[in-house]
Amino acid sequence: MNALAAGFTFEVRLLRRSFDEMMVLVTAPLMTLIFLSITEHAGRTDLAPYAVLAPALIALWTIALFTSGEIIERERQNGSLEPLVATPVAIGGVITGQILAVTLLSLVGFAESWLAAWAVFGIVVPIVHPTAFAAALVATAFAMAGTASVMSSVFVLSRSVRAYQNSLSYPFFVLGGVMVPVALLPEWIEPLSRVVFLSWSADVLRDSLTPEPVTSLVARLGVILALGATGFLVGLVLLRRAVDRLRRTGTIGFA
Amino acid sequence: MPRHLLAPLRIIRYSAANAWADMWVMFTPASWTFGYLSRLLTQVIFFALIGVLLDSPDLVRFLFIGNAVVFMAFEAFISVATTTWERRQGTLPLLVAAPLPLWPVFVGRSVQWLPTGLLSSSAALFVLGPVFGVTWRLPQAFAVFGALVVIGASMYCMALVFGALVLAATEMRNVVYNVATTVMMMICGVMVPLTFWPHWVGAVANAVPLTHGLAAIRTLAESPAVGPVAREVVTDLMVALGIGAVWLIAAAVLLERLAGLGRRSGSIDFAA
Amino acid sequence: MRMAEDAVEVRRLRRVFRGRRKSPGVAALDSVDLVIPAGEVHGLLGPNGAGKTTLCKILATVLLPTSGHASVGGHDVVRETAAVRRIIGIVFGGERGLYTRLTARQNLEFWAAMYGLRGRTLRLRVDAMLSQIGLTERADDRVEGFSRGMKQRLHLARGLIGDPQVVLLDEPTTGMDPVAAREFRTLVGELRDDGRTVLLTTHDMAEAEAVCDRVTLIDNGRLLATERPAALSSWISTYSRVDARDVPAERVPQLICELRDIPGVAGVRAIQPSGIRVETDVADAAPQVIRHLLDSGINSVATSTPDLEEVYLHIIGERGLRVSR
């Protein structure tokens, strides 16, 4: 617990001084305007919730990919990875705390999206089912952090995977049904989509913004949480592998 | 060829060779194809699919073309970031101290992104096109390719101005690139026609060569034969080139000014 | 605070680093035996690449041994990793490892938390540490603005923040100016007074001599000998070099003969453009050489202490120690 808190506090302090990492939060409201312009131009004000959610989820994932995903690599380059390994507190806890801080901060993207919609288009997207929305948001953040922990470990274990870091964004936005729901995509994509927590999150969040009651809320939240937990598990296993490798060979990654 | 024109061209050529070498340090053919290119193609797919959500095949085609073409502009704008490499590598003072003007170096420094941009946009338009209901006859395809070249060249000139501005504050290079490209996506007719936005936004968009180049390509896409629309297309492309030329002159002036300012204030250092 | 066991025990420790291809690899440490009793300040002296950092990393549990055994405070570094980590503190040399965008205090608070401290105890310890290294005034300034010496001190604080019983200092004075280096020696003395065990690695003989209770020499992954510091200072005075410059060309051969006759002179030769170099191998022979030169009217005379490599050559030769198996 100490490790989590320490990592969290540390990361919050660091992020305050590193504007660069949160640059996605500068372009996020612009993306909201882009999505809204498409839906408004087509006269589909009913799709405003879609247009407001998509950029928020995109921001969440992008920040995870480029900030959370680089946490361990950052420690390595800073020369503080080995000293961290040498401390009695579990390194997995610290890294997780840091990832949680980044993830929570990236939720600001949601607020920005709503604000941009109101400021430029005068559209206020009502949160029809606030409890469902809040619960879905929390579950989504948890799942994002879990996925980020996988990213963080993988990127430090394998330089060649890291070369593809840039291309791990839009494919997941398509698979995740971030703007266009999975139901509208070709059938063969569905199995792939359902493994990506974004697809469940996007659906539940969208449902909580529409008048109809949200179906199977608990079950769907359960899936999101389960996917997130799997992410954490895999991430921590990979982190242990990375540290083991560091101790055995003196370097942490494969080429 | 007149002497004072030869020297800059030669400089551009060498600078470009430097740039090409730099690029292959960052990418291998494999990582470019499966990393970079695949991400671009998925981005096009992502936006084109919104037309499916809105149940409009026309919109699918509109979004597809806009997003495929805009990559040419994105690639040209990467030069905003790479221009700063001269400063960050510490070669800037050496260049300033050299007898020949500075601007040809910067013109050539980032051209490696142009052929790759051409490749990406073409791959998107011609390979993915049929999937989204956009097909091309050969004459159309050639014309489109030419239009892409025009867009690339003219947007590159615009990017040089931004690159010059960013030289003074290199830590802003990523923000400038991201904001500029996102705004481009928003207002230049990529996602919605210019008429959607207020008048003043349209005016700003018209100062961006992409807007005109994209309009030309959309015209070509609508008409199966090139002949009838040739005049309209050529006009749009000429406008794009003209605007690009204005940006280029602005860039050259700005760069020389900055070099002069830097010499006076002592801000040109060996490492940023 | 004294431990019953030996603070550090190393037996037949071996660490091999594999090369890229199927090459046999490099033995950074080759069958090392070392015992450091609790409360001792032990120096590990050797040139770059000798294996000092590798040994520190193994003791810090950051690196696994290839074979052999190492324990800290009675706990095996491989099997009882957590126990070892609770009682050691490690300071790697160099500038990396600090979070430059954070303040000194924030850095220390983070590392204090990494050693299990929290709440009031954490804050008090950080304050005390800052005071001990003399950074209290700059505590809330960002590290990126710190001088080299200040960063070095902060490194030290970071290594000590967990109140370790065994402190590993890996070339801690690299890049320090002489004043800072002297202050550092005082600090090591304070550590000894606290009852802590210190392993200090260095390539500077003078430093090892000034600070350590005993010094072990290491080269190419092998321990050569363990000595009292006095031995080091005797080497320094034994193996000296005297350089004479601006010697008139016609006098050089005569002077060389005369110098060779002085007892304790190991070798004399002419060096370009107009100098003579004398090497001694007996303690206090250098002053005699200098006197002879001055008496002969040569005023441009300089002495230098031998560097580590030269000393190694001498003692290896003298003791017939084999360098490779």
Mean pLDDT score, C188-195 = 90
User: Which residues, other chains included, contact A249 with Cβ-Cβ below 8 Å and sequence gap of 6+?
Assistant: C17, C18
Mean pLDDT score, A29-34 = 97
Highest averaged pLDDT of the listed ranges A110-119, B260-269, C37-46, C290-299: A110-119
CA distance linking residue C200 with residue B204, whole number of Å = 66
- Residue A84: its chain C contacts at CB < 8 A? 114
**Does residue B186 sit at the A interface (CB-CB below 8 Å)?**
yes
Contact A199, A192 (CB under 8 A): no
What pTM does this model have?
0.86
Contact C50, C219 (CB under 8 A): yes
Mean pLDDT score, A134-163 = 91
| pLDDT, tens digit, 9 for 90 and up, residues A129-142 | 999 999 999 999 99
Confidence of residue C169 (pLDDT cuts 50, 70, 90): very high
**Does residue B52 sit at the A interface (CB-CB below 8 Å)?**
yes
**Does residue B33 sit at the A interface (CB-CB below 8 Å)?**
no
Phi, psi of C301, rounded to the nearest 5 degrees:
-125, 135
User: Which residues, other chains included, contact C102 with Cβ-Cβ below 8 Å and sequence gap of 6+?
Assistant: A10, A13, A14, A17, C110, C142, C143
Contact B18, B86 (CB under 8 A): no
Question: Given an 8 Å threshold on Cβ–Cβ distance, is C98 in contact with A80?
Answer: yes
Read off the tokens for B238: 């000429």
Mean pLDDT of chain C: 86
DSSP string, A113-148: HHHHHHHHH------SSHHHHHHHHHHHHHHHHHHH
Query: Which of A189-193, C124-128, C184-188 bottoms out in mean pLDDT, i.e. has the lowest?
Result: C184-188
CA distance linking residue A107 with residue A101, whole number of Å = 10
Q: Three-state SS for C277?
A: strand
Predicted local distance difference test score (pLDDT) of residue B86 = 57
**A124 vs C219: which has the higher pLDDT:** A124
Predicted local distance difference test score (pLDDT) of residue B102 = 61
CA B264 to chain CA centroid, Å, is 32
- Residue A74: its chain C contacts at CB < 8 A? none
Query: Which of A183-192, B37-46, C39-48, C236-245 bottoms out in mean pLDDT, i.e. has the lowest?
Result: C236-245
Q: How many C-beta neighbours within 10 Å does residue B94 have?
A: 12
The answer to whether residue C5 scores a pLDDT higher than 80 is: no
**Does residue C145 sit at the A interface (CB-CB below 8 Å)?**
no
Q: What is the ipTM of this complex?
A: 0.94
Chain B residue with the nearest C-alpha to that of A50: B53
- Residue B45: its chain A contacts at CB < 8 A? 170, 174
Nearest to B31 among A27, A163, A173 (CB): A163
Q: Three-state SS for C79?
A: coil
Read off the tokens for B50: 């919104």
Predicted local distance difference test score (pLDDT) of residue C115 = 93
Provide the edge-to-edge strand list for the sheet that holds C222-227.
Answer: C88-92, C166-170, C197-202, C41-45, C214-219, C222-227
Question: Given an 8 Å threshold on Cβ–Cβ distance, is A83 in contact with C99?
Answer: no
CA distance linking residue C122 with residue C106, whole number of Å = 11
**B164 vs B170: which has the higher pLDDT:** B164
Contact B34, B41 (CB under 8 A): no
**Does residue B192 sit at the A interface (CB-CB below 8 Å)?**
yes
**Does residue C118 sit at the A interface (CB-CB below 8 Å)?**
yes
**Minimal CA separation from B69 to chain A, in Å:** 17
**Does residue C35 sit at the A interface (CB-CB below 8 Å)?**
no
* A·B CB contacts under 8 A: 89
The answer to whether residue C266 scores a pLDDT higher than 70 is: yes
| pLDDT, tens digit, 9 for 90 and up, residues A202-218 | 999 999 999 999 999 99
Largest Cα–Cα distance in chain B? 61
Go through A184-217 and write b for each residue having 16 or more CB atoms within 10 A of its CB, e for each that does not: ebeeeeeeebeebbbbbbbbbbbbbbeeeebeeb
Confidence of residue C1 (pLDDT cuts 50, 70, 90): very low
Mean pLDDT score, B192-215 = 96
Confidence of residue C320 (pLDDT cuts 50, 70, 90): low
Contact A231, A146 (CB under 8 A): yes
- Residue C86: its chain A contacts at CB < 8 A? 88
**C7 vs B169: which has the higher pLDDT:** C7
- Angle value at C-alpha A205, between A203 and A210, nearest 5 degrees: 90
- Residue B64: its chain A contacts at CB < 8 A? none
Share of chain B above pLDDT 90, in %: 48
Predicted local distance difference test score (pLDDT) of residue C288 = 87
- Residue A31: its chain B contacts at CB < 8 A? 182
Question: Given an 8 Å threshold on Cβ–Cβ distance, is C113 in contact with A5?
Answer: yes
Confidence of residue B271 (pLDDT cuts 50, 70, 90): very low
